[in-house]
Structure formats: C-alpha cells, structure tokens
Amino acid sequence: MRHDTVRPSESPSTSNSSISSLMRYPLLNRELGILSFNERVLAQAEDESVPLLERLRFVCITSSNLDEFFEVRMAGLQEQMRDNPGALTPDGMSLQQVYDQVVERAQKLVHRQYTMLDGILPRLEQEGIVFHNVDELTDVQNEWAREYFQDELLPVLTPIGLDPAHPFPRVLNKSLNFAVELEGKDAFGRQAVMGIVQAPRALPRLIKMPHELSGYPYGFVLLSTLMQRFVGELFPRLTVKSCNQFRITRNSELFVDEDEITNLRIALQGELPARHLGAAVRLEVSADTPKHLVRRMMDEAGLHEQDCYRVDGPVNLVRLMQLPDLVDRPDLKFVPHVPSTPKALANTPSLFAAIDRGDVLLHHPYESFQPVLDLLLEAANDPNVVAIKQTIYRTGSVSPLMDALMQAARNGKEVTVVVELLARFDEETNINWAAQLESVGAHVVYGVVGHKCHAKMILIVRRVVENGKPHLRRYVHLGTGNYHPRTARLYTDFGLMTSEPKICEDVHHVFQQLTGIGAEITLHRLWQSPFTLHPRLVDAIRAETEHARAGRKARIVAKMNALLEPTVIHALYDASQAGVKIDLIVRGVCSLQPGVPGLSENISVRSVVGRFLEHHRIYYFYANGDEDVYLSSADWMDRNFFRRVEVAFPILDRRLKRRVIAEGLSAFLGDNQAAWVMQSDGHYRRRRPGKTSRNAQMSLLAKLCSDTVAP
C-alpha cells in the first residue's frame, strides 16, 4: 500500500526522449499556470467593488485551492524529483527549475493572502465583526473563554508529551496542531521539553462570543486563541514557554493497482483511511514560532526550508470560510439571486411533454437546476417509465437526485447508476451512495477501471403511444457540470434536455459501454473520450485551418477550465498561422502561448474570474457558415481525452445555438470587468472598463434571473 504516489496520468513531467516532439511549439508550465489562476482569484479579495464578506471568502477560496495544489501537484512534483530527477517537464524545464519557481511564486502568493487579510479584518471590525485577540480579553471575556475551554475543548483534547516512549506524532493531513514548549518535571520525574496537541476536526475553529460580552454585534474567538491562552491546563504544573500553531499538508493521491484489484470499492475503502497520513509536502507555521522548533518540525516531516510557509495569522484560512454564513449582514455579501425557470418548462404538466415539443436548454446558476430534479422525480413516479440510467461524479453527501433514483428503484423502475468512485476527495461520499443505491435494488457499476467516468448523462426510457401504436422513447439530459444542486448555484454550466433520436441512441450506447463489455460502437452525434473526442476536435480545428488557407472565413471560439494537451495546442498554432481567428476563454491553467508573432498572433486567451466559478465547456467552429456548437464535460487536457469517459454533444436547435453563443461565449469575450487577458509571456493583465462597463455574469443575472440584480 502506497500513499506517496502520483498516478502516471497526473505526472508533471515527461521523458526526455519525448521533449523534442513536444517542443516543436512552445508550451507554458502547468504548475505555474495553476498558481497564476489563484493569483487572479485572490485579486477578487482586493477588489473594492466586491462586498467585504465576499472578499474574505475569496481569500479562503485561495487557501482551499492551494491545499489541493500541494496535496496533488506539488506532491507529484516532489515525487518526480526523488524518482526521476533528470526528467523534464513538457515546457522543457528541469524539475528543479520548476520546483524553485513554484516555491517562489507560492511563497509570494501566501504572503499576499495574509497581507490582504490584514487589510480586511480592520474593515470588518468597523462593521461590528471582530476577532478577539488573546492579549485584549477583558476579565469577563477571559472568564467566559476559560469556561468554554474547560467545558467544550478540554474533554476532547489529547496532549502528547514527547520523550523516547512518545515520538513526534505523524499528524493528520491539514489538521490544526500546536507545538508547546515546556519546562519542568512531570509526575513521573521526567524533564518536560515539548508537547503536541492536535485539534480534533470536530471542534469549531471559529467560536462566537455572546453579544453582551463581546461588545460587538458579531464577536468571535479563534480556537487557536483559546489554545494559546489556556494550553497550560493540558500540562498541569509545567511552565509553558510558547504555544505555536502548525499544519502539515500531505500527498493525498490514492494508489490503486489497476492490474491487481478485483473489487474497486473494497480496494478504495482500504486506501481511504491512510490518505491523511501520506508523505509530507508542506509545513505551515505561525510567523513567531522559534527557529529551532521549526527546524525540529521540518526534520520530523522530512521537509526542507523551501517547504516551510511562515504565516502571520491563522495557519488554516479555509476555516474562516464559515464566517459569512455566521453573520447576518446581507449588505456585506453578494445580492442573492433567484434562478429562473425557462419558459419552455413554465406551467407545463409534464416535463416529458415539454421535451417532446423541442429541446430545452438550462443555463446554471442563472436558471434553476430544479427541472433536472423534477425530471428524475417525474420519471420515478411515472408508470410509463421503465428504466433510468445516470452517471454520478460529484453529487454531495446530501442529494435529492440520489433520493429520486432510490425512489425510482423502490417503485420498480430499472435503475442503473454509474458511480465514479475515483472522483478525487469525493470517494467516500460516492462509496456511501453506491451502498445505499444497491440496498434498494438499483444496479450500481463503477465504469471502466483506468478511465474515470466524467460524462454527465441521464437516460430515461418511457412507453409512449403514437398513432395508436405503443413504443419506447428515450429522453436524455446532458450537462457540462455535476449533478450537484449546491454547486449548480455556484458554478456556470449548461444542460440540455432532448429526445432527439440519434443523440438518445448515442447516450444509450455509451451506457452500454460503461455497464457491459463489447467493441467500440460508432456514435451518430456525440464525440466520446477516449475514442473520438480528441480526433474529432483536432479534425474540426484542421478544417478551420483549411478554410482559412482557401481564403474562406474561419473562426474558433472555445471555453473551458484548462488547456494543456499538446496535439490540440499545436493544431491551434497551425490554425493561427493559417489566419484562423481564435478566441479562447480558459478559466484556469493554459499551456498555449498566445500573441507570439509568426506563431499565435491570431489567438487570444482570457480568463474570467467573478462571483461564480466559470465551468462551461463550449466548442464553437464557424464550419463554413454552419456554426457547429458543442457542449461538453471535457477540458482540453490529456486526462479528459485519453483517460476518462467524456462526451461532447451538439446543439442542433438554431435558437438554442444562438443562446449558447451569446450567453456562453460572446458575453465573456466582451467582459471588461472580470476578464484577464493572457500576454505572450504567459502573464495576465486585467481588462479595464472603457466608456462602457461590461460584466458577463452580472449581465446574465439581470437577463435570466427572476429578480433584477444590481451590478
């Protein structure tokens, strides 16, 4: 069993022998691109137009993103440096060069985070939201804090005194810990030097002080404040010299030997408990921690000076994410929006009847996710529905969609659910859902080992009568985002409901591949990974290239989360040189280098970071005037093309196609408030409003939501 292994599909490097082919055209570094994205996220925290509590939330989101970056990408980079130090990354740099640049950039980003926090906290205090400092507690506040510590914390804390019988503990991944320097002798006559206290995850990190004691409408005390104040009670009759916060981030990739496993669920259940104890990747300590203590912690964790991040504040800013939810100050948050219901679905007695009248497009979070749930609920209770099939990647620990599927199974429907057990950090949730679905008689499969099922599909089979003849009709929902009601209010995604026969037949065949065994099936409408999506996409890019060379109009616009796959990037470079105008809207990391004379001067790359997380995947090709538009679950990355099951589906209805182009592409190309434009050196510059200010997300809120939302 290994817990410090990066899967080959996630490796940040490639062999030297393949570098020459990759370096035909320049590529930008992936790890640096991820940090660049987080710099753009953090910029939201210093934007004065963003409400104050939302600015704090963006600081916390950056911390959460960095946690995953270190758990996965940095862990992989460190492992590659140990196992294959001579390897080069796809951009041609050595692993050591990448590591040095990543560390320097990450250290600056973390410093900037805490500098921003120092600016936000005084503003919050002016609004009556304050964090009480340990040195500023009044006698009455101190007494309340002591009682809280003794009643709520002391019974669940386990101090560990370090001596030959108690070595330095292997603290859990991302847990909050305290290194306590001690002086004196204990009850057994041992000389006390140091103790470690881990704060259980169940303990709140943010504790609300009663209003009458605080003197502020919203007064809070951090758990770390209480620990620093009263940690001596855990070590009676010893002198506490210092109490220092620290946190260790560990490699969190799960290693499953695909050649050896016979039951993926059992194999994962064996791996999950040890995820929190993988190899150490990063040490975070409070800035005032004594140097000798920091050195001891680094040595114990097997880390170097570069892996240590000294912070002037709480070592885990992610836990401050709960603050906006604890404070009833709507004026300091984004104005709530009420997602609308498309006219095609309004007042309809049956969603099936609405879909029969024509395809239905849903644009989340501006339009409600409820119709997707309603479709499943109607199917679960409709006596004419005989079968329901659905893929699940991420759905949350509480999911009305899963409840609807279980209800359908109880009602005698043939329910098949493809649950992706290897959805990173959602493995345990998905294992639990799989067990619950099986308990009510649903068929549960885990897709194809070695190929994560990332496609978002629902297939419903229903008896209908037409011209006096009964037959079975299929209905399909396809989406760019997860079947997750909560994130559907936070992420921008498209969903399509259709009964178009060829699309429905294609979805049927994809499910057939996922649940059965057989040869590749030719699809009519859908592009599918790992078979046709990549070659069809490259062919579409090359077709635009040929149109341009023939003097015809050629145009490519694409929106995605990440662009990394070299063959696609090279095809885009070729298209640019042929004169194709290419606009790419890439939220996160992009390895393509735009605006290079003679190579990519016809390519623009922009990233939009705003209130909602941009999550659509949209591919547009002018196609000699046909204007082909595809929506997909797939980013343009190696893993999406070759190691996942993905689908890209066409928008055939001309009216809906115009909507996708207008709402998903044109609005974001025109954004001059939340858009960042990549320069030819890979750095981003924020667009500035001219005479007219345009914010795509706010415009769509005003246009599509039930209530008017002020910009």
* Distance, CA of 544 to CA of 626 (rounded, Å): 12
Residue 565: phi, psi to the nearest 5? Answer: -70, 120
Predicted pLDDT of residue 165: 63
Helix residue spans in 2-138 (DSSP H) = 16-22, 30-43, 52-68, 75-83, 95-126
* Distance, CA of 700 to CA of 494 (rounded, Å): 13
* Distance, CA of 539 to CA of 545 (rounded, Å): 10
Of 117, 477, 502, which Cα lies nearest the Cα of 318? 117
Of 13, 98, 113, which Cα lies nearest the Cα of 58? 113
Binding site annotation covers 424?
Answer: yes
Of 364, 454, 477, 484, catalytic: 454
Predicted pLDDT of residue 145: 95
Of 619, 616, 566, which Cα lies nearest the Cα of 591? 566
Helix residue spans in 149-258 (DSSP H) = 211-214, 223-230
Strands 644-650 and 527-529: antiparallel
* Distance, CA of 695 to CA of 674 (rounded, Å): 6
Instruction: DSSP for 551-604, please give it.
Output: T---EEEEEES-B--HHHHHHHHHHHHHT-EEEEEESS-B----S-TTTTTTEE
Would you say how long the chain is, in residues?
711
* Distance, CA of 56 to CA of 325 (rounded, Å): 12
Structure token pair of residue 127: 């609004």
Binding site annotation covers 295?
Answer: no
**Are 686 and 676 a contacting pair, CB within 8 Å?**
yes
β-bridge mates for residue 462, sequence order: 385, 473
* Distance, CA of 573 to CA of 567 (rounded, Å): 10
Q: What angle do CA 520, 524, 525 make, to 5 degrees?
A: 115
**Are 427 and 395 a contacting pair, CB within 8 Å?**
no
* Distance, CA of 651 to CA of 460 (rounded, Å): 20
β-bridge mates for residue 361, sequence order: 496
Instruction: DSSP for 641-692, please give it.
Output: HHSEEEEEEE--SHHHHHHIIIIIIIHHHS-SSSEEEE-TTS-EEE----SS
Cα first-last separation, the chain: 52
Predicted pLDDT of residue 519: 81
- Burial readout 568-586 (b: 16 or more C-beta within 10 A, e: otherwise): bbbbbbebbbbebbbbbbb
**Are 297 and 228 a contacting pair, CB within 8 Å?**
no
Structure token pair of residue 193: 């030097």
Binding site annotation covers 508?
Answer: no
Binding site annotation covers 659?
Answer: no
Q: Cβ of 615: how many Cβ atoms within 10 Å? A: 22
Domains of the chain as residue ranges with CATH: 8-122 (1.20.58.310), 135-260+278-332 (3.30.1840.10), 343-523 (3.30.870.10), 528-704 (3.30.870.10)
**CA distances (Å), 471 to each of 348, 359, 380, 497, 620, in order?**
23, 20, 19, 20, 36
Binding site annotation covers 201?
Answer: no
Structure token pair of residue 423: 């959805």
327: Cα within 13 Å, side-chain hemisphere:
28
* Distance, CA of 230 to CA of 225 (rounded, Å): 9
- Burial readout 297-322 (b: 16 or more C-beta within 10 A, e: otherwise): bbebbebeeebbbbbebbbbbbbbbe
Dihedral of the alpha carbons of 533, 537, 543, 548, in degrees to the nearest 10: 170
β-bridge mates for residue 414, sequence order: 387
477: Cα within 13 Å, side-chain hemisphere:
28
- Spell out, as residue ranges, where the chain has pLDDT lower than 70: 1-24, 164-165, 253-277, 422-426, 706-711
Residue ranges with strand state E in 154-257: 159-161, 177-183, 194-198, 206-209, 218-222, 239-250
Helix residue spans in 135-290 (DSSP H) = 139-148, 211-214, 223-230, 264-271
Binding site annotation covers 491?
Answer: yes
* Distance, CA of 517 to CA of 529 (rounded, Å): 16
Q: Cβ of 703: how many Cβ atoms within 10 Å? A: 15
- The residue whose two tokens read 């709520």 is 152
* Distance, CA of 180 to CA of 197 (rounded, Å): 8
Residues 6 or more apart whose Cβ sits within 8 Å of residue 502: 524, 525
- The residue whose two tokens read 């940040």 is 12
What interhelical angle do 566-578 and 533-549 show, nearest 10? 10
* Distance, CA of 634 to CA of 560 (rounded, Å): 8
Predicted pLDDT of residue 267: 46
Predicted pLDDT of residue 257: 46
Sheet containing 218-222: order of strands:
129-131, 218-222, 206-209
Predicted pLDDT of residue 276: 60
Predicted pLDDT of residue 426: 62
Indicate if 570 belongs to the active site: no
Radius of gyration of the chain (CA): 27
* Distance, CA of 1 to CA of 485 (rounded, Å): 35
Q: Cβ of 672: how many Cβ atoms within 10 Å? A: 16
